[in-house]
Amino acid sequence: MTHLGYVLGGYLLTAAVLGGYVLRLRSRSRALARVTAPAGGGAPVPADSPPPAGERTR
Amino acid sequence: MTTASRATRVLGWAALVTLALTAWLALIVSPPDVTQKDAVRLLYLHVPTAWLAMYVSFGVTTLASVLYLWRRTRSRFWDLAAGASAEVGVLFIGLTLAVGSIWGRSTWGVWWTWDARLTSTAVLFVLYLGYLAVRRVPSDPEVRSRRAAIVALAAFVDVPLVHFSVEWWRTLHQPASLLDERRLFDPQITGTMAFTLVLGVVAFTLLYAWLVIHRFRLARLEELADERQLADALAERRAEGAPTSAGESAGTEAGSARVDAPPVEAVGGPVAP
Amino acid sequence: MWRDAGLVAVKDLRVEARSRVATNQVLPFALVVLILFAFALDPDRGLLARASAGLFWVTVLFAAVLAIQRSFALEADDARDALRLSGLDEAGIFLGKAAAVAAQLLVLEAVLAVGVAVLYNVALRSAALLALVCVLATVGIAAAGIVYGVVAAGLRVRDTLLPLLVLPVLAPVLLAATRASEAALDGAVSEAWPWVRLLTVFATIYTVFGVVGFGPLLEEA
């Protein structure tokens, strides 16, 4: 591989790693945003939160 | 609720523009080095990420840890800031090592060399990986934050020791060929090259700030989510212990309301928080 | 503080004297590592003798991790709570535990040195310098080790977290101790002094850090 090949590889790797990190931050914040969104009226009931264990087993 | 805001949008665009400009200058406009030819273009990635990680990122983590430990300034803010900065720092150091490795391979034919700076950087990388691991241990949040802050300081104290010991190790009584290795990472920089390098540092600083702000807000969201889950769980416990007629009391999940509540002993009475 | 340090050190060493975990398990483990190195590095090619200082110190580091884990394992299940509720001065607890670990490591090192001399065919020149290096390095290892040991103590992930935390921190000690030992073994005593100074600085820094930081580390929220 020529020098330029290595150089481009390095730049692409950097871009990929940084981009991947940004995407991960974004997806995690979206998931959390749903969980922490304030509900209207009454108690906050986050639609996506799993029910505590054993709650519906009667 | 997202982690974006007008400030981060401005910052993000500024980072993107300067990064693009740096890449253009680095790859196209700036001249190849006399000895290394085009390989020197990796300098514009390697040096900014190294500086940002070592001086800015871990510096912020250390400072924030101190501020968290000091009673007068103690606040969740500093703990979350320390963690966010460390995570971005570890990311940047990983990139520093990877790019440094590629650089070494393209000029010297080896994927790794025990150059003083690369070696110190590798130790730093593992030191702060350990710090991040301590942050993830499940524990009472206050205790965990304090533990992490002290680990950050213990790691910081080690940095100059690592630096000096590795430096002496690689430069005392070494044959000349190894000293040439050091010149690999210290080429003569003038004119356009210097400008590109400075621009690169600016670009990565903006990127660092943007990433840390987002990571910090994400951590805040995570704490909020934990608090919310805890509050919900407590509310449920209280509702379970309430008398039958109040079976549909507010604050419970819709599906759990039952008119004929089970006998008290199954629930064990209201659980004190 | 000193009185409490003495109490803790004596207690830890007494537990060791009765249970003999260090002598029955850690020491043999270290000897096994020495032997494994010989398998890995083929004694006939002279590599083993040349690398003996480094191999010695790497073995000491591995044994130190075990010794530190043991130091907290012999407290009650929730080591940090037990230590905090004991009413002893926290800096004293740190010094006591570090001293106990250091004592055990020094004994280990003496035995290992004989092991290296015999198994790797190495002449132990400049014995006084070697002893000094051992003492300084051990103080640093014990101090930093107990600091990180209490961080990991009582956690379920303790056994994997402690090595990850403490071994990178001890990298300068490994470097300095090995170079100083090599200089001593080669008879080039003057070359060892910069490394000896570094070991002293390391030991001082982490002892101070431990004395100051042990209290906050033990504290509950």
DSSP string, chain C: -HHHHHHHHHHHHHHHHHH-HIIIIIHHHHHHHHHHHHHHH-GGGTHHHHHHHHHHHHHHHHHHHHHHHHHHHTS-SSHHHHHHHT---HHHHHHHHHHHHHHHHHHHHHHHHHHHHHHTT----SHHHHHHHHHHHHHHHHHHHHHHHHHHTT-TTHHHHHHHHHHHHTHHHHHHHHHHHHHHHHT-GGGGHHHHHHHHHHHHHHHHHHHHHHHHHH---
Reported as a single tens digit per residue, the pLDDT across C106-152 is 999 999 999 888 888 888 888 888 899 999 999 999 999 999 998 88
- Which pair of tokens denotes residue C192? 């060892």
Q: Which residues, 6 or more positions from C31, have their beta carbon under 8 angstroms from its beta carbon?
A: C111, C112, C115
Between B251 and C22, name the one with better pLDDT: C22
Q: Extract the tokens encoding A27.
A: 């997806």
Interchain contact B/A (3 or more Cβ pairs less than 8 Å)? yes
- Separation between Cα atoms, residue C6 and residue C99, nearest integer Å: 9
The answer, yes or no, to whether ipTM is higher than 0.95 is: no
Alpha helices in chain A (DSSP H): 3-36
Q: What percent of chain B has pLDDT over 70?
A: 81
Query: Which one, of B193, B212, B222, B196, lies nearest residue B85 by Cα?
Result: B212
In angstroms, the separation between the Cα of residue A12 and the nearest Cα of chain B is 10
Over residues B4-36, the pLDDT tens digits come to 788 888 888 888 999 888 888 888 877 777 777
Interface contact B69-C206, CB threshold 8 A: no
Tell if the CB–CB gap between B146 and C217 is shorter than 8 Å.
yes
Tokens of B74: 């103690």
Cβ contacts of B22 within 8 Å, gap of 6 or more: B44, B196, B199, B200, B203
Pick the closest to residue A10 from B211, B56, B111 (CA basis). Answer: B111
Q: Which of C148, C198, C221 sits opposite B165 (nearest CB)?
A: C198
Let me know if residue A54 belongs to a domain: no
Contact (Cβ atoms closer than 8 angstroms) between residue C179 and residue C192: yes
Number of domains in chain A: 1
- In sign, the C-alpha dihedral spanning B195, B198, B202, B208 is positive
Task: Report the run of H or E that residue B251 belongs to, with start and end.
Answer: none
A42 in a structural domain: no
Is position A20 within any domain? yes
Sorting pLDDT into bands at 50, 70 and 90, what band is B182?
low
pLDDT tens digits, one per residue of B145-168: 988 999 999 999 998 898 888 888
Contact A3 B38 (CB under 8 A): yes
Q: Is residue A40 domain-resident?
A: no
The answer to whether residue B91 neighbours chain A at the CB level (below 8 Å) is: yes
For residue A53, is pLDDT > 70? no
> What's the gap between Cα C213 and its chain centre?
19
Would residue A51 count as lying in a domain?
no
8 Å CB contact between B48 and B204: yes
Q: Which chains touch A (3 or more CB pairs under 8 A)?
A: B
Given a cut of 90, whether residue A3 has pLDDT beyond it is no
pLDDT digits (tens, 9 = 90+) for C91-105: 888 999 999 999 999
Nearest chain B residue (CA) to C220: B143
Q: How do residues B212-222 score in pLDDT, each as one tens digit? A: 999 999 998 88
User: Are the Cβ atoms of C168 and B130 closer than 8 angstroms?
Assistant: yes
Range of the domain at A30: 1-35
The pLDDT assigned to A30 comes to 87
CA of B125 vs chain C CAs: smallest distance (Å): 9
Pick the residue with more confidence: A51 or C198? C198
Distances (CA, A) of B17 to A14, B3, B11, B49: 16, 21, 10, 17
Q: Alpha carbon of C101 to those of B105, C9, C202: distances in Å?
A: 44, 9, 17
For residue B181, the model assigns a pLDDT of 52
C209 at B interface, C-beta within 8 A: yes
